[in-house]
Amino acid sequence: MTALTLAHTAVLGAAFGGAGYAKVSQQDAMVDAAKHLGYSNDEFTLIGTAELAGVAGLVVGAKFPLVGAASSAALATTMGLAVSEHLRAGDEAKVYAAPAVLGVLSATATLSFLAAARKKRKEKKEAKQAKKAAKKS
């Protein structure tokens, strides 16, 4: 895992871990947000559960980068939808700025995880070729 991927995982893990927990535990601010956006508490709890699952995927991505890529892509999509819901509700930019920033960070994390997966695949291929060459000699 590169330093960039690690930084993405730490920042996104903290942000989505906190937001997901707040939704799952139905904290007052999240109950109010759900009502404002036209969601039930159960629907917001499901969104929070998805965010927490995304955090788990980011952590698993340390060992399996494609899992991290899929998780960060899902989180980016979730944040894109969050921004659209805030726009639909007529909210000011300061309300949806955090989801917008987290969406961009999640998208860049996807690219970082994909690069890590490509590097891992290349290293595995080179090791296999070296082993094959050593066997021949």
- Domain map (residue ranges) of the chain: 3-122
By C-alpha distance, which of 14, 11, 22, 80 is closest to 49?
A: 22
Tell me the per-residue pLDDT of 66-104, one tens digit each, with 9 for 90 and over.
999 999 999 999 999 999 999 999 999 999 999 999 999
Instruction: Give the residue with greater pLDDT, 135 vs 9.
Output: 9
pLDDT of residue 12: 97
**Gap between the Cα atoms of 29 and 34, Å rounded:** 9
**Of all helices (H) and strands (E), which one includes residue 90?**
none
Instruction: Tell me the pTM.
Output: 0.90
Q: Where are the beta strands (DSSP E) in the chain?
A: none
Describe the chain by its helix, strand, coil percentages, rounded to 5: 90, 0, 10
Q: In this structure, are residues 96 and 86 in contact, taking their beta carbons and an 8 Å threshold?
A: yes
